[in-house]
Amino acid sequence: MCHSGYRCNMAQQTLINDYMKGKGINMSRSVNKTAQLLSAMGIFFCFCGVLMAVTDEYYNVKTDYGAVGNGTTNDTTAFQNALNAAAAAPGDKWVFVPAGTYLISTHLTIPVGVTLKGSWQFTPGSGATAVGATLLAVEGAGNPNGTAFIRMDSDSCIQGIKIRYPNQTSKTSDPFTPVQYPWTLDVFGANVKVLDCYVENPYQCLKITGTGRANVVGLCGQPLYKGIYVNYALDSCRFKNVHFYPFWSGANHGPSTWIANNGEAFVFGYARYQDMSNCYSYGYKYGFHFIPKPEDPYIGQACQGQFVNCDAILCGTAAVKVDECQIAYGGLRFVNGDFCVNERYSHSTTLESVTIGAETSGCVGFDNCSFWGPSSRICTINTGTSPGTATFTNCSFRDWDMAAEGKYAFAVLGGRVIVKGCYFITSGNCVSVASAALGATITANVGAASTEILNNAGTTKCQVANNVP
C-alpha cells in the first residue's frame, strides 16, 4: 500500500520506493513504466504526500511510539525509543516526526546512520501560526556546559525540524540577560548532516568538534551567544545557506543590545578545509571569529578555509576577527562578502570591519568585498613579527573615522598588507604603515591620494604606486 487510499501494483510501488530512497525518477524508462509511475502518483495527495506516507512504513514517533505532540506531554521516551529502533534495524533508518509541538524534557541522541526527519519540506520560519514538527527544549537552564539537546553520531541527519526554547528570557526584557543553555546540536560523529532546520532562540546553536565532513545546509534562527562553533575539525566541513537574524526578538532592544556586545555568529578554531557559502549573520559582536588553535602538541594550526558570498552585517565590534589562521593551505579567503559594523546597539567607539591579531601567521584575503557602516577603521593589522599577510583586492570601503579624528582606514602595525585595485569611497586618510610592518603594497586604488597614505616603513618595505584621488 502507498498509504494514500490507492493500491499500487508491484511495479508502481517499486518506482515510488526508488524515488523515496533518493534514486530519482528515471524518465528514460519505457513509456509504459513511466506511465505506471505517473498513474500511481497521479492522485495529487499521493504525489505530494508520498514522503509522509512511505515514512509511516518505517518509524513514526506518533503512530508507532506514542508521542503526543501537544506541547505539554513529555515525548522524550517516544523519540529516543524510535531513534534506537531505527538504529537497530537493517536498511533505511528513518524516524519521522509529524506536525506537532513535542516537549523533550531532557535530551536526545541520534545514533549512527539514523535520520530524524520532520514534516517541514523546507527551512521553517518564525511565524507563530506556522504548523510543523517543533521540538521544545527545556533541559540545562543555567548550565551552558551541560549535555546538548540533540547529540549526533556518525552518518546521522536531522532535517525539517524546528526547535524552540520556551523558557528563555522574555524577548521584551530590557535590559536582557539570556538564560544559558547547553548546545542545541552537538556533532561528535563524522559525515553528519543538518538540513533545513530552524533553531529559534538557542543560547548556543551548533557545535562541531573532534570530527569532520559535516554538511550544514539551510540552518536558520537567532542564536543568542554562539551560532556555529567548529574546533578540532580533522577534515572539511561544508556550510551553505545559514542565516542568523533577529527572527525571534524582532525590533526589541534588549536582546539586540546583548547580542551586539556578546554574541558570535561563526567561530572557527582548529578546522582544516572549511567551505562556507551564502551564509549571513546580523547584529553580532563578531560575525566571524577565528580563534587560536587548541593548546595541544598534536594539533597543527588554526583555521583554513574559503568563505564565498558570506555577509556579517551590523556587527557590534568587528565583522571579522582573526586571532590566528593557518599558514599552510591558503589561510582564509573571503570572496564577494559584505561586512558592516555599527554602534547602534553595542555603543562601541572602536568599531573595525576587520581585526587581524598578533598570532596570525597565514594569509587573510578579501576579494570583491564591500566594507561599510560607521566605524573607526576598516582594518587593523597587528601581527607583530608573525609573517601574516592581509590582502584586499577589488574591494570598496566607506564610512570609517566615524568620530572625525583623522583615523586611517587601514592601520598596518605589523605583518604584511596588499591593497590593490580598491575603491575608497569616503574621503579621508586611507592607509597608515608603521615602521614595524614587514611589508606593504598599495597600488592601483581609486580615492587614495598620495597625501592620504602614510608610509613610516620606508620605500624598501612599502611600495605605493598608481593610486588616484
Domain count, the chain: 3
C-alpha cell at 58: 518505517
Q: Which range (13-27, 171-185, 205-219, 451-465) has the least confidence?
A: 13-27
Q: Give the best-scoring range by mean pLDDT among 19-28, 43-52, 87-96, 282-291.
A: 282-291
451: DSSP letter: G
Q: Residue 347's pLDDT is what?
A: 77
More confident residue, 360 or 197: 197
Residue 343: give its domain's CATH number: 2.160.20
Q: How confident is the model at residue 121 (pLDDT cuts 50, 70, 90)?
A: confident
**Structural domain of 45:** 10-51
- Pair (176, 78) in one structural domain: yes
**Predicted confidence (pLDDT) per residue in 138-154, tens digit:** 999 999 999 999 999 99
Domain final residue pick, 231, 261, 291? 261
Residue 207 has pLDDT above 50, yes or no: yes
- Pair (26, 75) in one structural domain: no
Please indicate, yes or no, if residue 379 is contained in any of the structural domains.
yes
- Pair (42, 64) in one structural domain: no
Q: Residue 55's pLDDT is what?
A: 40
| Contact status, residue 388 vs residue 415, Cβ threshold 8 Å | yes
Please indicate, yes or no, if residue 298 is contained in any of the structural domains.
yes
Question: Hey, is 17 helix, strand or coil?
Answer: helix
Please indicate, yes or no, if residue 65 is contained in any of the structural domains.
yes
Please indicate, yes or no, if residue 4 is contained in any of the structural domains.
no
**Predicted confidence (pLDDT) per residue in 211-225, tens digit:** 889 999 999 999 999
- Pair (299, 419) in one structural domain: yes
| Contact status, residue 93 vs residue 87, Cβ threshold 8 Å | yes
- Pair (321, 450) in one structural domain: yes
C-alpha cell at 187: 556533532
Q: Residue 7's pLDDT is what?
A: 43
- Pair (183, 276) in one structural domain: no
Burial class, 106, CB count within 10 angstroms (exposed 0-12 / middle 13-18 / buried 19+): middle
Q: Residue 117's pLDDT is what?
A: 97
| Mean pLDDT on 366-375 | 95
Looking from the CA of 451 toward its CB, the CA atoms found within 13 Å total: 4
**Predicted confidence (pLDDT) per residue in 29-64, tens digit:** 444 554 454 454 444 334 444 444 444 347 999 999
Question: Hey, is 288 helix, strand or coil?
Answer: strand
**pLDDT, the chain, mean:** 87
Q: How confident is the model at residue 292 (pLDDT cuts 50, 70, 90)?
A: confident
- Pair (336, 457) in one structural domain: yes
Rounded distance between C-alpha atoms, residue 395 and residue 336, angstroms: 9
Beta strands in 336-456 (DSSP E): 338-341, 352-356, 363-367, 370-372, 377-381, 389-393, 396-397, 410-412, 416-420, 423-424, 431-433, 439-443, 453-455
Find out whether the peptide bond into 175 is cis, omega within 30 degrees of 0: yes
20: DSSP letter: I
- Pair (409, 442) in one structural domain: yes
- Cα 304 → chain centroid: 16
Residue 8 has pLDDT above 70, yes or no: no
Q: Residue 249's pLDDT is what?
A: 95
Residue 21 has pLDDT above 70, yes or no: no
Q: Residue 13's pLDDT is what?
A: 53
- Pair (267, 257) in one structural domain: no
Please indicate, yes or no, if residue 151 is contained in any of the structural domains.
yes
Please indicate, yes or no, if residue 335 is contained in any of the structural domains.
yes
Q: Residue 10's pLDDT is what?
A: 52
Residue 4 has pLDDT above 50, yes or no: no
More confident residue, 453 or 19: 453
Please indicate, yes or no, if residue 186 is contained in any of the structural domains.
yes
Please indicate, yes or no, if residue 235 is contained in any of the structural domains.
no
- Pair (112, 174) in one structural domain: yes
How much of the chain, in percent, has pLDDT values that exceed 70? Answer: 84
**Predicted confidence (pLDDT) per residue in 174-183, tens digit:** 999 999 999 9
Residue 444 has pLDDT above 90, yes or no: yes
Q: Residue 295's pLDDT is what?
A: 60
576579494: which residue's cell?
367
What does the DSSP assignment read for 248-286?
A: TTTT-HHHHHHHHHH-EEEEESSBSSEEEES-EEES-SE
Q: Residue 272's pLDDT is what?
A: 82
First to last CA, the chain: 74
- Pair (284, 344) in one structural domain: yes
**Predicted confidence (pLDDT) per residue in 301-322, tens digit:** 788 899 999 999 999 999 999 9
* φ, ψ (nearest 5 deg) of residue 258: -65, -45
Rounded distance between C-alpha atoms, residue 162 and residue 107, angstroms: 15
- Pair (164, 179) in one structural domain: yes
